[in-house]
Structures are given as structure tokens and as C-alpha cells.
Amino acid sequence: MIRMNLIHSVNDMPLRKKIIILFALIGIVPLIITFFISYGEIRKLVVNGQNYAENQSYEQTLTTLTRKLEHIEELSSMLIVNKDMEAILSKGAARMSVADQIEVYGNIVDYTQIMVSSSDIDNIVYFVDDNYAFTGVDTLFRRMNSIRELDWAQEVIANKGGPTWILNKDIDTRTGLSYLSLNKLLWNPEDYTSAIGIVSLNLELKQIEQSLTKSNPEQLVYVETAAGELVAGSGKKELETMRLKEPFDSKGSYVNVSLASGSYMARGQEIGDTNLYLMSVISHRAATESINHIKYQMVMIYLIICLVLLLFIFPVAKSITRRIYLLMNKMSQVRQGRLNELDIRPSKDEVGQLILSYNYMINSVQELMVEQYKLGQEKTQAELKALQSQINPHFLYNTLDMLNWMAQKEERENIQQIIYALSDYYKLILNKGNDFVTVKDELRLCTIYMEIQKKRFKNRIQLEVEVDEQVMDCMLPKITLQPIVENAILHGISEKPGGRGTIRITGSIDNDRLIIRICDDGVGLPEEGSSQQRRHRGSGYGISNIMKRLDLYFGQTVELALQSTPDEGTCVTIDVPVIHR
């Protein structure tokens, strides 16, 4: 059911909308598929490139720190095997004079200064037997007993001579600065099982901090001991929110971690065998920021492409359907009776052929309508002439009858006047073959007719005409008013006692309608069913004839009203559209 409704909805959809949807599916859907495929590939490349850059940055920092610390370990080994150092360690304070101690001390100081100046080391401190004359506080040589019980010293001793890296705060007692210290035991050259001192090579934490490089602004890189003591970091703010609880080895890659401040990626690894860990932490948001930026750029580019495509689709669809819509509008006009050709540049495609067929059909229909109209006009003219021919003999019979009556009475003068009037009457009727005349000519025809009738009825009947001047040029079928005047005489006034009366013709224009009234003061029409009414049926003959001719000429917009009051008279009203000559 839903499928059928969908099919019907698609079928009922306007053609232009169907074409737009079709073009959109053909153009935009592949574009969307291409977008997702391209975005997936680009995202993969960006992620791989970013991971590579972050790992490279980490490896570079790890390599730098490893080399730096290995170099310091090499220096520590060189210090231990120095011959002057071996002399002090092997003889001991009791077996050396003060002069010898000072001489050897001077040589060691010079050698140590060379080592410090040629490396990143800030200072070197020797913790030896308290009995040496040159031991002291905050000097190059210091008393072993002063640090023997400290935790870091115990850690060095417990390491049994191996290099021990610790975060040391006891080197500079004046400032309390912390150093990253490499500590080794000093062995007795004559008995390598006997440790008689500690050498401490101290590196400022700033040196470590300067070696920490970041590949991302929102990245934290720091070094800490296995026990979780912070050695150096790349930012105080980042340390507060991004530092991990403890160091770990991530096996050479970044792993996902969760902190209170959000989700991060972290990598950790021990720096050589130093028991120090290089840690790197990057927020997921920072890691995906460049990806989101690329995504935004791609979305904008594809949206612009889709917009351009839509802007192209609309005019194309409009150009395709424009002629069809024009043809539909013309066909709608045909329903309303307006037959107009579609006047556009011809084309040879299917729509163009359809338009050519439509224009041919319209031309054919117009030719048929013109032919039909001509036939209709000819038929109307024939009917008008037939009706007029019925009127003309009717009047002529009455006139000839009157002339016969006058001839019997030898009224030569009256016969002459009637014949002249009858001649003028028929000149107006013929009217050069025209079937339509002005109201002015119709009134003149009525006047001539009345001149003839006055002779017949001895001037007992009068005609009064009160017609507005603007009415005179209006058109009527000829012989429209005269039969009504004739009816008024024969069936109205002549039947009054004494046969006297007046016929009044008035005319005016009201709202583009021509109103003509012919009123008489005759006996009027008798009541229905009376014998007198039956005798007056002949009076309707002229009226029906006039009504038919008015209908043929003016159509359905004609009104012909007859109002009559017994013994008072009759009034005929003609109401037709105004048509000027």
C-alpha cells in the first residue's frame, strides 16, 4: 500500500521537479559517495602522517636524551680511570703527604674542569675519605661520611658500582637546586671489592628541558624517574592536567589513556638503562584537530560543488520543461475558448514536433471556426431576410388594400401622396441591401408609415417621437419598430370607440443598453380566454417575428417586454446592447 502511494505520488509530481530530482540523484549522490570515500582515505593518510610525525618527534627526543646521558656516563668512566684519581684512591689519605695530596688535587681539578667545559655537565663532585686535606663543604671533594646515610647514597651503594641516575637536591646546599645526577662508586684500585667514594656528575634540569621537543601545541613531553619523580617537563600548565600517574613502557607506539581532564594518547619508554622514562601525552582533540579542519574544508568544497550543481540543474530543468509548460498554458487557454498559436523558435526534438503539431491543430481549428462562422452568418442572414420578407408583404397587402379602397372613392390626391410615401418607405427598406439600419432611419420609416396610415384613418391617429440624440446612431435590424407601430394601430387604437389615439416612441441609453418604448393608448390586450383575446392573436405575429430577428442579431442579450392594461393601452419595450454605426 505504501509502495503504491509512493508510486502515485511520483507519477503526480510535476515534470520539472522529477527532472531536478533525477539530476540531483545523478549528480549529488555520486558526489556524496565520493566525499565519504575521499574523506576516509585522506583521514587515514593524515592520521598515519600525524602518527609518523609524533613518533619521529618522540624518537628524536629519545635519541637526543640517550646520547646526552650516555656521553655523561662515558665521562664518568674517564674520570674514574684517571691516573691521579687512581693514585688518591689506591694510597689513601694516610699514605700521602699533604703536599702530595694538594698536587694530585690540583691535577684532578684541572682535568675535571676540562670535562665540565667540554660537556653539558654543570658540575662534578667527589665524595671521598674525610681524612683528605682538600675535602670540605660545597667543594669539588666532599666528605663521604656526610652523605653515607642519605637515601640516594644508599641507592648508589646498593647498585654496586653501576651507574645510578637520581634526582639530587644535596649537591648545591647553598641554593637548594635539584640536579639530575649520574652517580658511580669509586673503587680501590688495589681491591675492587672495596668502595671508598662516590663520583657525582650533575646535569642542570634546564638542559633536559631544552631537549624536550613537541610536535603539537597541545602536547606534554616530560622525563621522570621510575619512582614517579618529575625531572623536567615541556609546560607547567600541561603538567597539571596531562601528567600520568606513573611512567610506563608503551612498546614503541602511542596508546589511549583516560585522565580526569579527558581522553589522551600516550607513549612512554625508558631512556637507555638510566631508570628514567621519556613520556609524551597528546589530547585526542589536538590529534584530531587537523583531521577536523580537513573535514571542514572538504565539506565546504563539496557543498559549494553541490550548490553550483544545483544552480546548473535548475536552469537546465527549466529550459527542458519551459516549452512543455508554455504548451500546457496554451492548451489551458484552448479550454477557455482562446485559440492561440505557441510562437517560439522551432526545434527538431520531440517537444518541438509536439509544438508544431499543436500549432497545426490550432490553425486547422481556426480555419474550421472561420468557415463555420461564415456558414452561421450566411444562415443568420438568410433567416433575417426570410423574416423580413414576411414583414414586407404584410405591410404591402394592407397598403394596397387601402389604395384599392381610395380608388373606389376616387381620391386621386390621396392615392398620389400614398404612392409617394410608399416609394420612400421601400427606398428605406431596401437600404442598398443592408439588413441593419440606425435608429434614426427606423424612426423615419415609422414616420413615413404613419403618413400613409393617417390618410387611411383620416388623421385620427398621431405619432409622437421623444428619442435622445445619442440614440440616433445606434443600430437595429431594419423594420423593427414599424411592425410594433402597425400592431398599435390595428389592434389597439382602431378598436377604440371613435378610433382616435396617440402612439408615443421614446428612446434612451442606460448602462450601455438601448431602451426603446412604443406605447399607445388603445384598448390594450383583452383578458386571457375571452373571445376578444382570441380575435387579437394576430397581433403577436409581428412581435414574435421581431423577437426572432433581434435574437439572431444580438444573441441572448435581448429583452422584449409587452405590458398592457385593458382599456388603457399597451407598451412594448425593446432592451438591446448598444451598437453604434
pLDDT in tens, 501-556: 999 999 999 999 999 999 999 998 876 544 444 344 444 556 888 888 888 788 77
pLDDT at residue 539, rounded to an integer: 47
Burial of 482 (0-12, 13-18, 19+ CB in 10 A): buried
C-alpha span between 492 and 484 (Å, rounded):
11
The pLDDT value given to residue 247: 92
DSSP 247-259: ----TTS-EEEEE
- Segments in 81-93 forming alpha helices (H): 83-91
Residue pLDDT, tens place only, 346-381: 777 777 778 788 788 888 887 887 777 776 665 665
pTM confidence score: 0.52
Q: pLDDT (tens digit, 9 = 90+) per residue, 185-233? A: 888 877 777 788 899 999 988 888 988 988 888 889 999 999 889 999 9
Percent with pLDDT over 70 in the chain: 89
Out of 95-104, 130-139, 378-387, 572-581, least confident range: 378-387
Residues with Cβ < 8 Å from 388, sequence gap 6 or more? 435, 477, 478, 479, 549
pLDDT at 341 over 60: yes
Per residue in 372-412, pLDDT tens?
777 666 566 555 555 555 545 656 777 777 778 778 777 77
| 175 CB neighbour count, 10 Å cutoff | 7
Q: Which long-range contacts (CB under 8 A, 24 or more apart) does 454-459 make?
A: 455/402, 455/406, 455/414, 455/417, 455/418, 456/402, 456/405, 457/489, 457/494, 457/499
Pick from 166-175, 541-550, 557-566 the range whose average pLDDT is largest: 557-566
**CA dihedral defined by 42, 44, 46, 49, rounded to 10 degrees?**
-140
- Give tens-digit pLDDT for 306-336: 888 778 777 777 777 777 777 778 788 777 7
Q: Cα–chain-centroid distance for residue 9? A: 22
Cell of 441: 432611419
Q: Which DSSP category does 527 fall into?
A: P
Distance CA(87)–CA(103), nearest Å, equals: 11
The predicted structure's pLDDT at residue 570: 94
Residue-level pLDDT at 530: 45
The whole-number pLDDT of residue 463 equals 92
User: Which pLDDT value is given to residue 497?
Assistant: 87
Residue 483, classed as helix, strand or coil, is helix
Give the pLDDT of residue 406: 75
251-268 pLDDT, tens digit per residue, is: 888 899 998 888 888 999
CA distance 250 to 267: 5
Strand partners, 142: 127, 136
Helix (H, G, I), strand (E, B) or coil at 274: coil
Tell me how far apart the alpha carbons of residues 215 and 221 are, in angstroms, rounded to a whole number: 10
Of the listed ranges 154-168, 298-312, 340-354, 422-436, the one predicted with least confidence: 422-436
* Number of Cβ atoms within 10 Å of the Cβ of 297: 10
The pLDDT mean for the chain works out to: 82
- Smallest Cα–Cα separation from 501: which of 470, 536, 540, 457? 457
231 alpha-carbon distance from chain centroid: 60
458's CB contacts (< 8 A; 6+ apart) are none
Q: What is the pLDDT averaged over residues 455-475? A: 90
Distance CA(26)–CA(344), nearest Å, equals 30
Q: What is the pLDDT of residue 392?
A: 53
- Relative to beta strand 179-188, strand 164-168 is antiparallel
Can you tell me the distance from the alpha carbon of 253 to that of 269, in angstroms, rounded to the nearest whole number?
10
Band of residue 580 on the pLDDT scale cut at 50, 70, 90: confident
Which grid cell sits at 305?
Answer: 560543488
- In the structure, what pLDDT confidence band is assigned to residue 462 with cuts at 50, 70 and 90? very high
Around 316, how many Cα atoms within 13 Å sit in the side-chain half-sphere? 13
pLDDT tens sequence across 65-118: 999 999 999 888 888 888 888 777 777 777 778 888 888 888 888 888 888 888
pLDDT score of 244: 92
8 A C-beta contact, residue 515 and residue 508:
yes
In this predicted structure, what is the pLDDT of residue 534? Answer: 39
CA–CA distance, 185 with 200 (Å, rounded to integer): 9
- Give pLDDT, residue 470: 93
Which burial class, exposed, middle or buried, applies to 457 when counting CB atoms under 10 A from its CB (0-12, 13-18, 19+)? middle
CA 479 → CA 81, 82, 323, 439, 449, distances in Å?
A: 155, 155, 54, 10, 11
Q: Where does 439-553 show beta strands of DSSP type E?
A: 461-467, 475-477, 501-510, 513-520
Q: How confident is the model at residue 3 (pLDDT cuts 50, 70, 90)?
A: low
